[in-house]
Structure 1
Amino acid sequence: MATTDRRATTLALAHALSAAERGLAVIPLARTKLPALRSPHRDAPTPQPFPCHGECGRLGHGVHDASTDPVRIRALFAAAPWATGYGIACGLPPHHLIGVDLDRKPDADSSAALRELALRHLFTIPPTVVVLTPGGGRHLWLTGPPDQVVPNSAGRLAPGIDIRGAGGYLVGPGSRTRHGTYTTAPGTSHLAPAPCPPALLRLLLPHPARRAGGGTVTGGRGLVQFVLAAHEGQRNTRLFWAACRAYENGIGPALLAPLLAAAQATGLTEREARATLASAARMTGGPRP
């Protein structure tokens, strides 16, 4: 491993240990921002009936490996000497962290969208930790109540606003990735994550499960039509958005084939479409297609 990589790993470990001292559970990340340790079950001949979250005792279960124990953290990084960053698990005690990920995209002003939501629903984002991403985006750190589970979502609140909740993670400040380094915004490093405003929390919590019937079918048809209406340059974005909504509403598996067919009808290859559907499943905690 190159000297610069060793230095990056050493710095990442130091930042991860510092975060753990603040009660934040961490895992090592590769330059891709994905967990550095691969699943020990990746070569299993058949899918497991119940996914392993670390019960096997081995490393490589993604966010389920996250820990605040310095001995455990050092063991994780020792097993992944190529790690150049660290992820902070959301939804775990004592902070029950919620990450508001504001992407910077040419076709979506996520900061303006958040301001509009705040005006419409009468809430204010309190002073809190803000992490700047290499792409010009921002991660806002908030805390949730221990009796509420905030799910991951992508673009559900508004285009460009993703939520990292239970089962998700945030790239920690000090992490080095292919696109650059994550840093804490000036003036926020000394802050503790602030409580999520109640009005915003209500928007983040899942809607009551829909009953099987016409509403679900109609919603599914609408998502398929949304994908079919995509123009070149929108196809992956629309497919990802529709798949996330389908998984969040509990109809992801049933809508997998129609969404795949719709995506191919717009010009995506089967491989491209399946990769996008898999990304949506990972984001929302749905079953992998």
Structure 2
Amino acid sequence: MATTDRHATTLALAHALSAAERGLSVIPLSRTKLPALRSPHRAEPHPSTPCHGECGRPGHGVYDATTDPARIRELFAAAPWATGYGIACGLPPHHLIGIDLDDKPGPDGPDCSATLRELALRHLFTIPDTVVVLTPSGGRHLWLSGPPDVVVPNSASRLAPGIDVRGAGGYLVGPGSRTEHGVYATAPGTAHLAPAPCPRSLLRLLTPPPRPRTRSASATGGPAGAAQGEGLIQFVLGARTGQRNTRLFWAACRAYESGIGEALAPRLTTAATQTGLAPHEARATIASAARVVGERGFG
């Protein structure tokens, strides 16, 4: 292994041990941000039941996560190619929740920070001062602490386009990790902070109640459905340059999840074209939202 790789592994181990001292459970990661250790069951053709580490061998991804320094050293010793570490979410004492703002540089990239501020205004919450990790791609990870009796699921762009959530069963790349695209670093002024409690209004958005699988009268044609549809239309019309596709996708997802997607699609298309999107581009975005929602099993 090259000297630079050994140095990166040594640094990653040091950062992982430091995180464990703060009560954060960690695992070694490769340069691809994936768990560095492969599953010990990969050669088994048909394992009878999924193993989450009960066998005692390493290689179970986030289920290997630990705060035990001796165990952490063992995991890194078994993966000398590791150049980073992952922090497991949802575990005590912090019950970590990660808000991944996938901001992309350039005029057409999503402004996820602005979208989160809009959500905060609409749902009357404030993002507290907390740990912020800067990603090599220009994004940010906000660390929040959840209550022990609430399970926050992982999600991708469900909260809003470009905003992913890491909860139970997920992990965040820890600051100090080196990946193929660069180094993760704590934002200035936040390294000394503990993960702040997740605002209750935001927590409700992260743990939505089960949605009915049949369309209700209000969702398809009643006053509640009409009001929601009008709100989604206005959300799309309010898009600025660089937000048009992301706002349309988010609104279309909410419409299909609520059972009004097909009825609202023509109006969503018209609203999107009024903001400057080409009709075929708007229709493609709405169709993509319909596929994503269908794959999740809504409606």
Corresponding position of 1:206: 208
Aligned partner of 1:174 among 153, 173, 176: 176
Q: Write out per-residue CA displacement over residues 27-63 of structure 1, whole angstroms, 9 at most, x where no aligned residue.
A: 00000000001111222212x3532111111111100
Cα distance, 1:20 vs structure 2: 0.1
Secondary structure of 1:17's counterpart equals helix
Q: 1:243 deviation in Å?
A: 6.5
Question: What amino acid is the match of 1:68?
Answer: T
Does the 8 Å CA contact 1:103/1:160 hold for their aligned counterparts?
yes
Residue 108 of structure 1 aligns to a residue whose secondary structure is coil
Larger radius of gyration between Structure 1 and Structure 2: 2
State whether residues 175 and 182 of structure 1, in contact with CA within 8 Å, keep that contact through their aligned partners in structure 2: yes
Secondary structure at 2:99's aligned position in 1?
strand
> Shift of the alpha carbon at 1:107?
3.5
Equivalent pair of 1:153/1:244 in contact (CA under 8 Å): no
Relative to structure 2, which stretch is displaced further, 48-57 or 90-99? 48-57
Corresponding residue for 1:109? 111
2:64 maps to 65
CA distance in 2, matches of 1:243, 1:77: 40
Q: Which runs of 4+ in 1 moved over 2 A?
A: 218-223, 229-232, 234-239, 241-251
Deviations 1:154-176 (A, max 9, x none): 10111111000000000000000
Q: For residues 237 and 13 of structure 1, do their structure 2 counterparts lie closer, same or farther at Cα, with a shift above 3 Å needed?
A: farther
- In the alignment, residue 18 of structure 1 is paired with which amino acid? S
Residue 77 (structure 1) aligned with residue 79 (structure 2): no
Per the alignment, do residues 236 and 7 of structure 1 end up closer, same or farther by CA in structure 2, a change over 3 Å counting?
farther
Partner of 2:41: 41
In the alignment, structure 1 residue 193 sits paired with structure 2 residue 192: no
Partner in structure 1 of residue 135 of structure 2: 133
CA–CA distance in structure 1, aligned partners of residues 149 and 189 of structure 2? 31
2:115 match: secondary structure: helix
Q: CA deviation at 1:244?
A: 5.8
Query: Tell me, which stretches of 5 or more residues in structure 2 are unaligned?
Result: 217-255, 270-278
When the two chains are superposed, the root-mean-square deviation of aligned CA atoms in Å is 2.9
Alignment of 1:213-252 (within 5 A): 213=214, 245-246=293-294, 248-249=296-297
Shift of 1:231: 6.9
Deviation per CA, 1:258-277, whole angstroms, max 9, x where unpaired?
A: xxxxxxxxxxxxxxxxxxxx
1:9 aligns with 2:17: no
- 1:4: how far off? 0.3
Per-residue CA distance 1:166-216 (angstroms, 9 max, x = gap): 0000000000000000000000001111000111000000322534x457x
Match of 1:152 in 2: 154
User: 1: CA distance between counterparts of 2:297 and 2:198?
Assistant: 23
Instruction: Give the TM-score normalised by the residue count of structure 1.
Output: 0.76
Query: Aligned partner of 2:124: which letter?
Result: L
Tell me the residue number matched to 1:162: 164
Identify the residue that residue 51 of structure 1 maps to in structure 2: 50
Output one character per residue of 1:136-171: Cα deviation in whole Å (capped at 9) or x when no partner: 100000000000000001101111110000000000
Q: Distance in 2 between matches of 1:246 and 1:56?
A: 36
Deviations 1:115-154 (A, max 9, x none): 0000001111110000000011000000000000000011
Task: In structure 2, give the amino acid aligned to 1:194.
Answer: A
The code of the aligned residue for 1:26 comes to V
Is the Cα–Cα contact under 8 Å of residues 36 and 80 in structure 1 kept in the other structure?
yes
Stretch deviating more after TM superposition (97-106 or 70-79): 97-106
Change in CA separation of 1:221 and 1:45 when aligned onto 2, cut-off 3 Å: farther
Amino acid at match of 2:110: A
Opposite residue 210 of structure 2, the aligned amino acid is P
Give the AA of the match of 1:2: A
**Structure-1 residue corresponding to 2:122:** 120
Residue 250 of structure 1 deviates from its aligned partner by 6.7
Equivalent-residue separation in structure 1 for 2:7 and 2:42 (angstroms): 29
What CA deviation, in whole Å up to 9, does each residue of 1:72-120 have, x standing for no partner? 1001101100000000000000000000000113441100100000000
Q: 1:245 to 1:42 in 2, by over 3 A?
A: farther
